[in-house]
Amino acid sequence: MNEAELMAQRLAAGRLMARRFRGFLPVVIDMETGGFHAATDALLEVAAVLIEMDPDGTLRRGATHSYHVKPFEGGRIDPASLTITGIDPDHPLRPALPERDVLQRIFREIRHAIRDYNCRRAILVGHNAAFDLGFLNAAIARAEVKRNPFHPFSCFDTATLAGAALGQTVLAKAVTVAGLKWDSSSAHSASYDAELTADLFCIISNRLRDSFREAEERACALGWMTAAAEAPDEPQMETEAPAPELPPLA
């Protein structure tokens, strides 16, 4: 395959990704923390996994960007959390970075991916995503990061998706019944959990492609979008008025 053909495939995949999620680029985030309270508990590890799309619309796991994080000054660390994660925040060989540096490095990669896929914004994918989104937003506020590529409150939760599609909400069980291998000795590492969450999201989303195509055809028939459009209309915030109700399926 020559360079022109590869470029054509990338452009086709970019148009499909923008249409698939209404201009949002799904990015998997997993955080290992010092507790359950985003405002007071320390952030210890962050992993971001990009989601890629093939020209035929198949989603697959992309690159992983993972960092150890220095606890912010005054951040609480519950010893019980460290027992679960196995993290030693004071280990001399732990290559931890300040929150601001970590966020800027991850956001830079996400912004590149947003441009590559002709999207307008990222949307967080996580297992029990509200937890990760809460810690992400708290870290952004503490570090005074101005260019946040993520939607501030919408997210895709794989616990919900897996419960509906697979009958399992625990990540290890959902991954297993989906046909993937789960390594319990690697669990509670931000990069491992994020990668398995990304695989789970792709499996479920790929199984829903026929449903998406049917819905897209109906949206085009209603004049909401055109299948040939390079990107959908500006992503709607959940505070806006909802779109008109679709007619029932035949």
Give the Cα separation of 165 and 153 in Å (integer).
23
Give the Cα separation of 249 and 230 in Å (integer).
27
Q: Which of 91, 127, 151, 188 is catalytic?
A: 188
- Identify the helix (H) or strand (E) that includes residue 14: helix 3-20
Nearest to 121 by CA among 228, 22, 244, 2: 22
From the CA atom positions of the chain, what is the Rg in Å? 19
Q: Is-catalytic flag, 151? A: no
Distances (CA, A) of 243 to 190, 231, 235, 236: 37, 18, 12, 9
Give the Cα separation of 142 and 103 in Å (integer).
11
Give the Cα separation of 181 and 160 in Å (integer).
20
Give the Cα separation of 8 and 10 in Å (integer).
5
Active-site positions read: 188
